[in-house]
Amino acid sequence: MLDGQSTPARARFLAGRVAAVDGETIKFLLPSEGQIRRCEPYKVEVETAIAEAFGVSLKIVLGVDDTPSNSPMTGRPAPTAPAPVQDEADIDIHDLTDANVANATVVDRITDVFPGAEILEEES
């Protein structure tokens, strides 16, 4: 559903998940109260898209997701600890990842969070 939404709506709602649909209400859970406040202005846009797609008017109720992040409910895998390295010779440099660059631009950081994101230049 989010693919057809505005970029701000899509970016804010991607952090959450549908927990339940009860009658004419969709319970949508987000990671924090702050995320709920950021999603509130875009609820009507998403509700309208749902009505257009399914032909039924549903209201979205936002809530905080109390499910631990390693739960299968969230779709996020549990973090795993790396195997201990016995000797420097055991390190495969191809398994290493670059550290976050402190001077990266906001756009760089956003595209890191949303792999496959496309940057569109403003037309003048």
78 vs 63: CA distance, rounded Å: 23
Cα separation of the two ends of the chain: 30
The three-class DSSP label of residue 44 is helix
Per-residue pLDDT of the chain (124 residues; tens, 9 = 90+): 667 778 888 888 888 899 988 888 999 999 999 999 999 999 999 898 888 888 889 899 999 998 765 444 445 555 565 666 566 666 777 776 665 556 567 777 777 777 777 777 777 6
Q: Which domains does the chain show, CATH number per domain?
A: 2-68 (3.30.300.180)
- Other beta carbons less than 10 A from residue 48's beta carbon: 12
Nearest of 37, 54, 35, 41 to residue 6 by alpha carbon: 41
61 vs 20: CA distance, rounded Å: 10
Question: Considering the entire predicted model, what is its pTM?
Answer: 0.53
